[in-house]
Amino acid sequence: MQIQPITPHMGAEISGVDVAHLSDNEFARIQQAFLDHQVLVFRDQDIDRDGHKAFGRRFGELHIHPSKKQLDTRSDPEIFAIRTTPESAWTNGEAWHSDVSCEAVPPLGSMLYVRELPGASGGDTLFANMYEVFATLSEPLRRWLRGLDAVHDGLKDLASYNIKLKPGQTYPHAVHPVVIRHPQTGREVLFVNRSFTDRIVGLPRVESDALLEMLWRHGEDNPRFHCRVKWAPGSIVFWDNRCTWHHAVWDYFPNTRYAERVTIQGTVAPARAEAAA
């Protein structure tokens, strides 16, 4: 088993291992690499849906996406399918985000397996290191942000896809600290994202919008915080939802891309940095 960093601060490719038949030692190395690199890319894997879910369960209980509970109750609840075709008006995940941060306990991580590539190139996924995004802000701003909370609302994300709930349907929303401490590494993380974070608690809307836009642009516009994953047949990408953003690049129109995601449920709610220090 080889672990090759993608950048010095984020991402690693893992080769020479079969995720369907991991020894205890291999799994322990993968667990540590996940915390060290935030984004892991496994090459040359051949798994079906059951194998995909079994690999996810090695890390914890599988998360059921809220859309499976409210909007799509007929398909496999543990598989989140993402199909983008020439007829698609949008593709899922085209804005920088962390998955379903509107949950009271957001997911620990997500595993994506692309089953149909759009061709020889295109359809890459970008990731941003939210440890570094926070650490590179000025100390006065970091000190202020540590005391703030933000509302994360799933309806904001649905609106970006022109999806409206029917009478009787609900979608999660939650309040989380703007700066959290990662429950395993202990490092501080900026925990807001463009898709789900609606507003800063206690600030007028104009001030909240300006602050959030500045924070989002700080993380989105500087490539020093990013790594880029190029997909190939048999690739699985596993990212830490608690300390990364990701962005699905839709640069392959009119080709089709089909992927399936398994998500691991978080075990603790995001905690304010001072409280967990």
In sign, the C-alpha dihedral spanning 61, 245, 256, 155 is positive
Residue 66 CA: distances (Å) to CA of 140, 158, 240, 242: 37, 11, 19, 18
246 is catalytic: yes
Catalytic residue among 37, 226, 246, 257: 246
Q: Which amino acid is at 142?
A: R
Catalytic residue among 52, 199, 247, 261: 261
Catalytic residue among 37, 52, 97, 272: 97
Decide if 134 contacts 143 (C-beta within 8 A): no
Say how far apart CA 215 and CA 237 lie, in whole Å: 26
44 is catalytic: no
Count how many Cα atoms sit within 13 Å of the Cα of residue 111 in the half-sphere of its side chain.
Answer: 28
The CA angle 150-127-100, to the nearest 5 degrees, is 40
Decide if 192 contacts 215 (C-beta within 8 A): yes
261 is catalytic: yes
Q: CA torsion angle for 217, 221, 225, 228 (degrees, to 10)?
A: 130
Residue 214 CA: distances (Å) to CA of 178, 207, 208: 14, 11, 10
Kind of pairing between the strands at 12-15 and 39-42: parallel
Catalytic residue among 52, 63, 65, 99: 99
Say how far apart CA 249 and CA 176 lie, in whole Å: 28
Say how far apart CA 225 and CA 270 lie, in whole Å: 22
CA-based end-to-end distance of the chain: 34
- Report, as residue numbers or ranges, the catalytic residues: 97, 99, 246, 261
